[in-house]
Amino acid sequence: MNSINHSRRNFLKTGGALALGSTLPVSLVELAFAEPSQNFTFAYISDAHIQHIKGNRFVRNWDRGLIRAVAEANLLTPKPDFVMFGGDLAQLGSQAELDHGAEIMSALSHKVHYVMGEHDYYLDLGAYWEKLFGPQYHSFDHKGVHFIVLNSIRTYDDWTYKRWPTAEQRMIEMAGLDNPNGSPFMVGEEQRKWLKADLDKVAVTTPIVVFSHSPLQKIYKGWNFWTEDAEQIQTLLKPFKKVSVIYGHVHQIQYNQIGNISFNSVMATAWPWPYPASYAQAEQYLPKLTVPMNRADPFFERDATGWQFINIANGNVDLNFTLYNNASRVVRFDNAKKHPEDKDYQPESTRIDPQRHY
């Protein structure tokens, strides 16, 4: 909480009477547009992996992580305009898991948009999820920003429809890491056609924010930190002046800039993944811009998990990570360098050992 605290204190020191009625990380909400009524922030919770044991029993750790994120998001002042959920609400896509996750999420006092994750999808290909949360891909406009939600975790039809004797086995095969039976994620032709048509209606000066579960860039195939048709999506987004892609799935802080597109990952509430660079049994392309998170202290069961709230500043996104039992981090778009940058950890000399030895 340090950075948030300090910013807030600074604000309170100078804010005087303005400070009344504005408490939590209010000072981080920057001007998005000249018109103050257009300022906004939204919260982002992701990768809860609610896991059913049997009967009414669910894995307590994952429940607690999501419950806490929801409770903390409800403390944001001023209130965020909406909340995103970044996918993998469930672990094995069952109705029990999706229902239980939706119940925990219902404590949010905000409108929520959901992104599909592979753990939500591969049991019934999103049928029950759609009943709870709406279409698998769609777009919406909010205060001058065009938001796009994609289902980026589909794969080849042959794998999805012809390969597995049961839906349960299909789900489990896709849930594994380093699984030779797995298959790379992709947005797919159907959605690419829809995306092109959707973007055709948007002015190139309109800021675009794309939500996907997998990174719309290629980082590490073995763990599906990967989207097979990433380049084709990037090409569709190329004409626009300001584009941000925000993805879940990786359970760690990553950021990158490819041409006009800024990439940011969000945290999981369930558990942390290591960085692929620390494992790298196959070629990996962890973005050079990314400064790794410091390693989780195993004493703290929630360390290296968390959630984030996101400010739309001048059409670019700034991510404010709330990390349990750890120093909060802020990744902001640097207007001079034209890419996202960590507010605190950037110089090599300021890094600490737990960041180098993840």
Partner 1 sequence: MRHLFLLTLGVAVFGCSQAAFSQQSGPANTDPTPAISNNLLGLPPVPVPANNPQTPAKIALGDKLFHDKRFSIDGTISCSSCHDAGKGFTDNLPVSVGHGGLTGTRNAPTVINAAFSKSQFWDGREPDLEGQSKQPFVNPVEAGLANHQPILDIVRSDPEYKAAFTEVFKVSGQQLIMDHVSKAIASFERSIVAGNSPFDRYYFKGDQTALTEQQQRGFQVFLAQGRCVSCHTIEQDHALFTDSRFYNIGVGINAIQQDVPRLAQAFLEAKARGGDVDQMVLTDKKSSELGRFAVTDGFNDLGAFKTPTLRNIALTAPYMHDGSLKTLKEVVTHYNNGGVTPVGAQVNAFLSGGIRPLNLTDAQINDLVAFMEALTSEQYAKSRPATGAQ
Contact residues for partner 1, defined by CB under 8 A: 1, 5, 8, 12, 19-21, 23-24, 60-61, 64, 67-68, 70-72, 74-75, 77, 299-302, 322, 324-325
Q: Which residues pair with 318 in a beta bridge?
A: 311
- Minimum separation from the CB atom of position 308 to partner 1 (A): 13
- CB nearer to partner 1: pick between 68 and 339: 68
The torsion angles phi and psi of 116, rounded to 5 degrees, stand at -80, 130
3 state SS of 327: coil
Q: Which is nearer to partner 1, 63 or 120 (CB)?
A: 63
Give 198 or 301: the residue with its C-beta nearer to partner 1.
301
Residue 220 contacts residue 226 (beta carbons within 8 Å): yes
- For residue 349, the minimal CB distance to partner 1 (Å) is 27
Instruction: Give the nearest distance from C-beta 81 to partner 1 in angstroms.
Output: 17
Tokens at 8, concatenated = 């807030």
Q: Which is nearer to partner 1, 299 or 353 (CB)?
A: 299
- For residues 35 and 31, give the distance between their C-alpha atoms in angstroms, rounded to a whole number: 8
Q: Supply the minimum distance, in Å, between the C-beta of residue 71 and partner 1.
A: 3
Residue (58 or 121) nearer to partner 1, CB: 58
Nearer to partner 1, 70 or 153 (CB): 70
Dig out the tokens for 24 from the structure: 């939590």
Dist CA 188 CA 159 (whole Å)? 13
**Is the Cα torsion angle 84, 273, 181, 218 positive or negative in sign?**
positive
Euclidean distance between CA atoms 261 and 215, whole angstroms: 12
The closest alpha carbon to 214, from 277, 161, 150, belongs to 150
Min separation Cβ 132 and partner 1, Å = 22
The sign of the CA dihedral 90, 93, 97, 102 is positive
Closest CB 292 distance from partner 1, rounded Å: 21
Cβ pair 190, 198 in contact under 8 A: no
Residue 358 Cβ, how far from partner 1 at the closest point, in Å? 20
The gap between the terminal CA atoms of the chain, to the nearest Å, is: 21
Nearest residue (CB) to partner 1, 21 versus 165: 21
